[in-house]
Amino acid sequence: MSLTARLVLTGALGIVAISQAGCNLVPRYQLQSAQNRTRQLYDQNKSIAMDRQGLLAQNQQLQQQLSSEQALRETWQQRYDNLASERNRLTGLKNTNPLSDSANQQFADLAKRYPGFEFDPQTGVSKFQNDILFDTGSDELRPEAKNLLNEFARILNEGDASQLNVLVVGHTDDRPVSKPATKQRHPDNWYLSSHRAISVVHALKTSGIKEARMGATGYGPHQPRIAQVSDDARRQNRRVEIFVLAPNASMAGWEPGTTKR
């Protein structure tokens, strides 16, 4: 081979080698595209991280609100439980009737003969509408009421009932005491409800129930049977209730397990 031919062949091979080497390089537009995609992924990751921090902060805030609401709910539940416990203690007989079957029957018969007198055989609670006991604004018992209370006392002085205690509770309606003559003796409904309960206690004492077995209290208008302001609701809310209590009932000033004589 001549020198000229060898030079031509060598030059051609060099061009081919350069061409093959150039084929392994990444084009510029692909490199820029990859760099842009990398920058986008970085920005997205940074945004996700910021969003995550925001969600964590919101979650912590919600947890704090939930804890506060839970604490408030527990506080109100505790208050409700305390009120329910106090009411149960005050009445002494939410779920039991300490009266015998014979006494229950006698009280049921009494309720049939005296309209306005109610007896609950489940609890042993008796309710007297004020219309059958007192005139409006008065704590003086009506003459016909004395016969009813005398029969009531007779039942409580017989048999096992004679071992039970008695709590007399007075209630009024929501209207304030307004008549000047009434206000002189009963300045407000607290006085009126308490004075009526005391009048019933005195009548039961006259009928033979020993004072040591009895207690009296007044709630004014604050424990209505019906939370309305109609005439019928007010009529039902004006009442005297008598709770018959077992000797072991826990009452203010009464030691459980003792019988008052």
42-57 pLDDT, tens digit per residue, is: 888 888 888 888 888 8
Does the pLDDT at position 130 exceed 70? Answer: yes
Q: What is the pTM of this model?
A: 0.61
- pLDDT of 253 > 60? The answer is no
Coil, strand, or helix at residue 261? coil
When pLDDT is averaged across residues 221-242 and rounded to a whole number, the result is: 92
Question: Residue 117 in contact with residue 148, Cβ under 8 Å?
Answer: yes
Least confident of 90-99, 171-180, 190-199, 247-256: 247-256
Q: What does each C-alpha distance from 157 to 185, 196, 261 come to in angstroms?
A: 32, 22, 11
